[in-house]
C-alpha cells in the first residue's frame, strides 16, 4: 500500500511525491519532464518492507541510520509489525532515547543561530555525536532476542559491528515536512515556525547530518528511500555505486522542484507539464540547486531517490574533473528559474562578498549570479547597478524611511533599469544592486549558495501569508558596491556576445561573465548537430530555444532533453554530440568553470 499522492497532514506541498513504481505508459519525451530517471537495469531496486524484513531476519543484528527529517517511528512500526506477525522476538534500541536534554542541545546550537530575528546563522562546526550522551556507544544487544536493531539518526554511533541500512531523503522533501509541522530539529520537541526550523536545519542539523553520512558511507550496506510513510524502495549500496559511476561518466539530470512565492508568475504553469495548475503561482523552479535536489534511480520500473550528495561523495573527481581539487565534493554551479510572468517584481537586493559570507555565515564561496532571460514580455525590465549620481547616504535614508513608514520609493531615481529581451545575460557579481521586474522568465545561472539575499526594498508587497518579508538594509550596505553605476553597468554588467567559432550551420557564442564570476557562459546555436569536448571540465546545459535535442556520448544515445530542461555533462564524459531534434534552430546554454579559477 502506498501513500496518497498528496497528504497535507504530514507533507505540505502541491508537488506530489514520486511514485514507488512508474506506470508503463509511454512518456512524450519532447516536453519538459519533471520526473527524470536514471536507468540501472533490472534487479537493482527492491520494493516493500516485506523484502527488507526478510533481509533483516538473515542478518539478526542491524543498524538503521538515516538523515535528519526521516520518519524513523514509521519505519520502526512497519518493520515491527512484520516481525511480530512472524513470531520473531525483537529488541529495538532507539537513538532518540540517548539525545542530550533539550536545554543542553539549545545551548549547544545557540552560537550558530544568530539573533532570533535574523534569517541567517553560521555553519556549525559540530558533529552529530555532540547531540548524544555517551551511553549511545554503550548500548548492549539483548542475547535473548532473535533480532536486535538500533534505529534512528546517528544509529551508527552505537559502534555495533552490524550492517547499516541508511534511509535517505532529499532536503526539499524535508522542507515539505517542516511546513506541515511533522518534523522537528535534532533534539527538539517544541513546535516552531517553518522559517525557524529551516534556519536551524540549514546551519546546524543538515551540516552535522551531511558529515555523519560522509563518515559512515563506506560502511553502509543498503540505501533506502525515506520519503514514503507506508512503503519503501531499497537497494544494495554496491548497485548504487555502480549506477552513480556510470552517471558520472555520461549525463545526469536532477529532479527539479517548484515553489510558489509572493512575486511568482504563471510561465511555468504553461510550459512545465504535470505541475499542479491549481497552485497560486510558481516563483521558483529549483532546476539544479544540488544541496537540495535528489536523483531518481530506476530498475524494473521501481524508483528510488537519493540526495545529490551521494553522487558527489562517490564521484566528484569524475564530475568536476580538473577543478576537483578546488571544489572537492561540492558542486559549484546552480541553475534555477525565477518566474515573474503576470507576477510581481523581485525585491531590490544584493549578495555578500566572499569575505563577508565566510566570516558571517561560514560559507566557502559566495552568491555570484547572472540573469539569462529565457523569455520576456514587451516592456519587461531588469534593475541593475546604480545611477551615475547615486548618493549612498540618501539612498539608505530613503530605504529606511520606506521600511519604517511603508512608503513607496521612486526606485529608478537611484537604480538603473534595462529592457530585458530574450537571450540577454545580465551579470550580478556580489555586491551588485539588482532585481528582476515583472514579466520575465529568468534562468538564474549562479554559484551554488542560494539563501544569502539582502533585501533593501520589496515594493511594499507582502508574502503569501499577508506579512512583510524581512528587509536587510544593514547587511546590504555592508556589501553594496557603489562604483557599479552609470556607464560602468552597461560596459561591465551586461554581457556583450561574441562569436568564438562557427561552421556551416553552427556558431559558438561567448557571453562573457564578470571577472568576479568563477564560471563562464557559452551559447551553442546549431541547425543539425554539433560535437563538443568537455576539456576535463563539468558542463551544465539547457536548451533555451528549440523543441528538443538528443545527446550522444561515445557514439551512443544518452538521452533526450526538451526545452528548458537542465542537464549536466560530467568532465569524465570527455566528448559528446548534440543533435537537433526539431525543425527550428537549437540554442543551448552551457555554463562551466573558468580555466583560471582560484578561490
Which tens digit of pLDDT belongs to each residue from 13-29? 999 999 999 987 655 56
Report whether pLDDT(379) > 80: yes
pLDDT of residue 558: 95
Report whether pLDDT(5) > 80: no
Condensed to tens digits (0 to 9), the pLDDT of residues 217-242 reads 999 999 999 999 999 999 999 999 99
Q: What's the average model confidence in pLDDT over 129-144?
A: 96
* pTM listed for this prediction: 0.96
User: Which residue shows C-alpha cell 516592456?
Assistant: 379
Distinct helix (H) and strand (E) counts, the chain: 14, 31
Residue 8: pLDDT band (50, 70, 90) is: low
Condensed to tens digits (0 to 9), the pLDDT of residues 297-345 reads 999 999 999 999 999 999 999 999 999 999 999 999 999 999 999 999 9
Contact present, 369 and 445 (Cβ < 8 Å): yes
Q: What's the average model confidence in pLDDT over 42-51?
A: 98
Q: 10 Å Cβ neighbour count for 237?
A: 19
Helix axis angle for 206-216 and 308-320, nearest 10°, is 70
User: Which residue shows C-alpha cell 514520486?
Assistant: 18
Report d(CA 164, CA 55) in Å as an integer: 12
Q: What percent of the chain has pLDDT over 70?
A: 98
Report whether pLDDT(1) > 80: no
Report d(CA 239, CA 233) in Å as an integer: 13
pLDDT of residue 213: 98
Report d(CA 165, CA 163) in Å as an integer: 7
Note the maximum CA span of the chain. 81
Distances (CA, A) of 486 to 29, 111, 421, 482, 517: 46, 42, 20, 10, 21
Please state, rounded to an integer, the average pLDDT across all residues of the chain: 96
pLDDT of residue 27: 53
Contact present, 409 and 335 (Cβ < 8 Å): no
Complete domains list, the chain, with CATH: 38-247 (3.40.50), 309-492 (2.60.120.10), 498-593 (2.60.120.10)
Q: Which residues of 324-345 are buried (b: 16+ CB within 10 A; e: fewer)?
A: beebebebbbbbbbbbbbebbb
Q: In what order do the strands lie in the sheet with 220-225?
A: 46-47, 233-236, 220-225, 164-168, 61-66, 147-151, 90-94
Condensed to tens digits (0 to 9), the pLDDT of residues 483-497 reads 999 999 999 999 999
Report d(CA 458, CA 265) in Å as an integer: 16
Condensed to tens digits (0 to 9), the pLDDT of residues 429-444 reads 999 999 999 999 999 9
Amino acid at each position: 500500500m502506498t501513500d496518497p499522492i498528496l497528504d497535507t497532514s504530514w507533507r505540505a506541498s502541491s508537488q506530489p511525491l514520486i511514485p514507488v513504481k512508474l506506470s508503463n505508459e509511454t512518456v512524450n519525451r519532447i516536453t519538459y519532464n519533471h520526473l527524470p530517471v536514471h536507468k540501472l537495469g533490472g534487479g537493482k531496486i527492491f520494493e516493500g518492507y516485506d523484502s527488507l524484513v526478510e533481509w533483516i531476519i538473515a542478518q539478526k543484528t542491524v543498524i538503521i541510520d538515516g538523515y535528519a527529517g526521516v520518519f524513523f517511528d514509521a519505519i520502526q512500526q512497519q518493520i515491527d509489525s512484520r516481525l511480530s506477525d512472524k513470531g520473531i522476538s525483537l529488541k529495538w534500541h532507539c537513538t532518540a532515547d540517548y539525545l542530550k536534554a533539550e536545554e543542553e542541545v539549545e545551548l549547544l546550537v545557540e552560537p550558530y543561530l544568530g539573533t532570533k530575528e535574523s534569517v541567517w546563522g553560521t555553519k556549525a562546526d559540530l558533529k552529530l555525536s555532540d547531540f548524544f550522551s555517551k551511553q549511545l556507544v554503550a548500548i548492549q544487544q539483548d542475547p535473548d532476542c532473535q533480532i536486535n536493531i538500533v534505529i534512528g539518526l546517528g544509529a551508527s554511533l552505537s559502534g555495533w559491528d552490524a550492517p547499516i541500512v541508511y534511509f535517505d531523503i532529499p532536503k526539499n522533501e524535508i522542507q515539505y515536512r517542516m511546513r506541515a509541522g511533522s518534523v522537528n530539529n535534532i533534539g527538539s520537541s517544541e513546535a516552531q515556525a517553518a522559517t525557524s526550523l529551516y534556519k536551524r536545519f540549514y546551519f546546524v542539523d543538515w551540516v552535522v547530518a551531511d558529515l555523519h553520512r560522509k563518515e559512515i558511507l563506506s560502511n553502509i550496506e543498503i540505501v533506502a528511500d525515506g520519503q514514503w510513510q507506508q512503503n519503501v524502495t531499497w537497494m544494495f549500496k554496491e548497485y548504487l555505486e555502480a549506477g552513480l559511476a556510470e552517471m558520472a561518466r555520461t549525463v545526469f539530470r536532477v529532479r527539479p522542484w517548484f515553489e510558489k512565492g509572493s512575486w511568482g508568475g504563471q510561465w511555468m504553469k504553461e510550459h512545465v507539464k504535470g505541475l499542479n495548475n491549481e497552485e497560486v503561482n510558481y516563483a521558483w523552479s529549483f532546476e539544479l540547486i544540488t544541496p537540495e535536489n535528489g536523483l531518481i534511480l530506476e530498475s524494473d520500473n521501481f524508483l528510488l531517490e537519493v540526495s545529490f550528495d551521494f553522487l558527489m561523495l562517490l564521484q566528484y573527481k569524475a564530475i568536476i574533473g580538473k577543478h576537483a581539487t578546488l571544489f572537492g565534493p561540492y558542486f559549484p554551479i546552480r541553475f534555477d528559474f525565477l518566474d515573474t510572468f503576470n507576477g510581481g517584481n523581485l525585491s531590490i537586493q544584493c549578495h555578500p562578498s566572499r569575505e563577508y559570507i565566510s566570516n558571517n555565515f561560514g560559507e566557502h564561496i559566495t552568491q555570484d549570479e547572472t540573469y539569462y532571460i529565457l523569455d520576456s514580455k514587451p516592456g519587461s525590465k531588469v534593475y541593475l547597478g546604480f545611477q551615475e549620481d547615486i548618493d549612498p547616504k540618501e539612498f539608505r535614508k530613503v530605504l529606511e524611511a520606506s521600511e519604517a513608514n511603508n512608503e513607496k520609493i521612486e526606485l529608478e531615481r537611484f537604480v538603473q533599469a534595462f529592457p530585458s529581451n530574450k537571450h540577454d545575460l545580465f551579470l550580478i557579481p556580489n555586491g551588485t544592486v539588482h532585481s528582476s521586474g515583472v514579466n520575465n522568465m529568468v534562468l538564474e545561472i549562479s554559484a551554488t549558495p542560494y539563501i544569502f539575499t539582502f533585501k533593501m526594498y520589496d515594493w511594499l508587497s507582502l508574502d503569501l501569508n499577508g506579512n512583510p518579508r524581512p528587509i536587510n538594509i544593514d547587511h546590504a550596505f555592508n556589501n553594496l558596491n557603489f562604483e557599479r553605476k552609470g556607464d560602468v553597468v552597461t560596459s561591465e554588467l551586461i554581457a556583450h556576445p561574441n562569436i568564438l567559432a562557427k561552421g556551416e550551420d553552427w556558431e559558438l557564442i561567448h557571453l562573457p561573465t564578470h571577472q568576479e564570476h568563477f564560471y563562464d557562459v557559452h551559447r551553442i546555436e546549431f541547425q543539425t548537430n554539433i560535437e563538443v569536448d568537455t576539456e576535463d571540465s563539468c558542463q551544465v546545459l539547457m536548451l533555451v530555444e528549440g523543441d528538443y535535442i538528443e545527446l550522444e556520448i561515445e557514439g551512443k544515445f544518452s538521452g533526450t532533453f526538451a526545452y528548458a530542461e537542465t542537464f549536466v555533462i560530467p568532465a569524465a564524459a570527455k566528448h559528446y554530440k548534440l543533435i537537433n531534434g526539431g525543425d527550428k534552430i537549437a540554442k543551448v546554454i552551457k555554463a562551466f568553470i573558468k580555466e583560471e579559477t582560484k578561490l
